[in-house]
């Protein structure tokens, strides 16, 4: 039987990439999984082999399917969701009085409508 084609992206990258896309630190991901940060680091560096149970835990914590985690095509990003960093900022904006929210959103709109450099 031929080996499974994973698109050339190593498994450790398929763990680290969605963690970074979601804006989680290794410590935050470890807390979500119920392990220590050093183990997340070891998985991301390819020092530990991923068991079936740990694949399920990582997939659940990263809000992806085990298939997306284990068989990524290497180029397509996983289901994109706002990072925790962005969500935390959005929550802080929502706590502002309406007038300040208006000015923050106007400034963001202006930045987002200008050409990227």
Residue 29 maps to a domain: yes
For residue 2, tell me if it sits in a domain: no
Are 57 and 34 in contact by the 8 Å Cβ rule? The answer is yes
| pLDDT tier at 113, thresholds 50, 70, 90 | confident
- 18 with 59, same domain: the answer is yes
Distance CA 105, CA 101 (A): 6
Instruction: Give the tokens for residue 104.
Output: 């923050």
Which pLDDT tens digit goes with each residue over 63-83? 888 888 887 554 455 556 667
> Residue 116 has what pLDDT?
66
**Which contacts (CB < 8 Å, 24+ apart) does range 23-26 have?**
23/82, 23/83, 23/84, 23/85, 23/86, 23/87, 24/62, 24/84
Identify the weakest region by mean pLDDT among 26-30, 76-80, 86-90: 76-80
Residues 93-111: tens digit of each pLDDT: 999 898 998 898 888 888 8
Q: Which position has the token pair 């970074």?
A: 20
> What is the value of pTM for the model shown?
0.61
Residue 16 lies in domain: 11-70
Q: Are 66 and 103 found together in one domain?
A: no
């Amino acid at each position: 039987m031929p080996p499974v084609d994973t698109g050339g992206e190593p498994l450790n990258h398929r763990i680290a990439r969605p963690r970074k896309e979601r804006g989680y630190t290794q410590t935050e991901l470890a807390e979500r999984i119920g392990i220590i940060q050093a183990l997340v680091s070891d998985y991301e560096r390819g020092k530990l082999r991923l068991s079936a149970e740990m694949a399920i835990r990582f997939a659940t914590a990263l809000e992806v399917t085990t298939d997306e985690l284990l068989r990524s095509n290497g180029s397509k990003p996983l289901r994109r969701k706002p990072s925790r960093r962005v969500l935390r900022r959005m929550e802080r904006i929502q706590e502002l009085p309406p007038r300040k929210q208006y000015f923050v959103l106007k400034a963001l709109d202006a930045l987002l409508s200008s050409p990227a450099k």
